[in-house]
């Protein structure tokens, strides 16, 4: 990297209270197996909102001070001595879960299940910065036909793809509870791979309207429309085949269980707060399969979603706002309203 700068602008949690603060920090020194990435664009994630709000989870998990952020796209500007297969100037995104190599799961290639996983922007220095140090193992090259703003949201798209591809969706009827950005992208994936009906529920009308703009989906506001009426209108005789719980809302999960066919399959990405009462007898008697989903399958999910983006999957409309990083407080404000889609920060002018 020619004329390596000494310092960089970054957004960090520097106080144990709500907010993030912009400051100047040293450019990371990379090791022999790392690359240095110049960040072009970043996405603001729900996790970043937890860290901004400094809720119970964040205060127990995130060290202070810490540069946050983990959704990014940029280009490689420096390469460690032992790195092969990557080049200076190459456009990349990357897997934000840093995994160990010693666990049974890692040694069998199931990297996403490694119990020693640490997250950039959560446990380690993150991507809300002009430069990010990342192990070369975690780098995902970006094809030329995927722009930086889409590269910056591959992490949450990967959550959606991992959840959606947990079960066979071809010709199936799919129910998604929670029309946040990941739920909406999961609906787009379900349509792309050939689901018959895709219904998405929420009580936030702005988010439901966004879902209808992004993909061909039946958006249902369960505050004023009965899901049973929707099932009848669609002609579903026994209910939904596959469910994706994206809301973290206990009532939504209960409603999903009731709406499933006998032997239905549910993938859960949403995280209910605390301990939630579950009517297990309904799940047992309906022979429901429930799969917990965390992160992305490393690297199969990345391969699948990049391939889908190249053959027609379009999630670009899920990005509703883009701001220069200097206006990061405005960007977080849009996320905090609960009615935005994905919010992207542009670092190229910083």
The residues carrying an active-site annotation are: 47, 50
Q: From residue 245, give the alpha-carbon distance in Å to each of 163, 172, 183, 262, 278.
A: 9, 16, 8, 17, 14
- Measure Cα distances from 340 to 37, 179, 184 in Å: 28, 11, 12
Distances (CA, A) of 65 to 13, 96, 117: 5, 19, 20
Q: Identify which of 268, 241, 238, 237 has the alpha carbon closest to the alpha carbon of residue 254.
A: 268
Based on the number of CB atoms within 10 Å of its own CB, is 100 exposed (0-12), middle (13-18) or buried (19 or more)?
middle
Closest CA to 53 of 20, 22, 12: 20
- Asked if residues 162 and 301 have their Cβ atoms less than 8 Å apart, the reply is yes
Q: What angle do CA 203, 208, 213 make, to 5 degrees?
A: 175
List the one residue out of 68, 69, 89, 64 whose CA is nearest residue 79.
89
């Amino acid at each position: 990297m020619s004329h390596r700068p000494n310092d960089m602008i970054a957004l960090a949690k520097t106080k144990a209270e709500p907010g993030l603060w912009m400051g100047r920090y040293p450019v990371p020194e990379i090791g022999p197996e790392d690359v240095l990435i110049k960040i072009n664009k970043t996405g603001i994630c729900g996790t970043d909102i937890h860290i901004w709000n400094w809720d119970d989870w964040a205060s127990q998990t995130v060290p202070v001070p810490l540069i946050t952020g983990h959704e990014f796209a940029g280009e490689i500007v420096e390469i460690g001595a032992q790195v092969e297969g990557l080049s200076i100037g190459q456009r990349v995104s990357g897997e934000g879960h840093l995994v160990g190599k010693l666990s049974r799961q890692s040694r069998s290639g199931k990297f996403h299940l490694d119990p020693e996983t640490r997250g950039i922007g959560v446990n380690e220095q993150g991507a809300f910065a002009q430069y990010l140090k990342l192990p070369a193992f975690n780098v995902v090259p970006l094809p030329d036909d995927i722009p930086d703003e889409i590269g910056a949201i591959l992490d949450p798209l990967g959550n959606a793809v991992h959840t959606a591809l947990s079960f066979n969706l071809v010709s199936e009827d799919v129910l998604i509870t929670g029309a946040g950005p990941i739920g909406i992208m999961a609906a787009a994936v379900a349509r792309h791979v050939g689901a018959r009906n895709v219904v998405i529920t929420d009580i936030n009308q702005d988010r439901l309207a966004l879902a209808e703009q992004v993909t061909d989906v039946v958006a249902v506001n369960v505050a004023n429309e009965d899901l049973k009426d929707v099932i009848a209108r669609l002609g579903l005789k026994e209910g939904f085949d596959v469910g994706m719980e994206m809301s973290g809302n206990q009532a939504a999960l209960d409603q999903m269980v009731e709406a499933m066919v006998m032997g239905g399959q549910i993938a859960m990405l949403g995280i209910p707060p605390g301990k939630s009462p579950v009517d297990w007898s309904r799940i047992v008697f309906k022979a429901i399969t429930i799969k917990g989903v965390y992160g992305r399958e490393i690297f199969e999910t990345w391969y699948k979603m990049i391939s889908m983006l190249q053959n027609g999957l379009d999630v670009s409309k899920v990005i509703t706002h883009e701001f220069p990083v200097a206006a990061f407080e405005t960007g977080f404000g849009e996320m905090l309203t609960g009615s935005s889609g994905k919010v992207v920060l542009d670092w190229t002018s910083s």
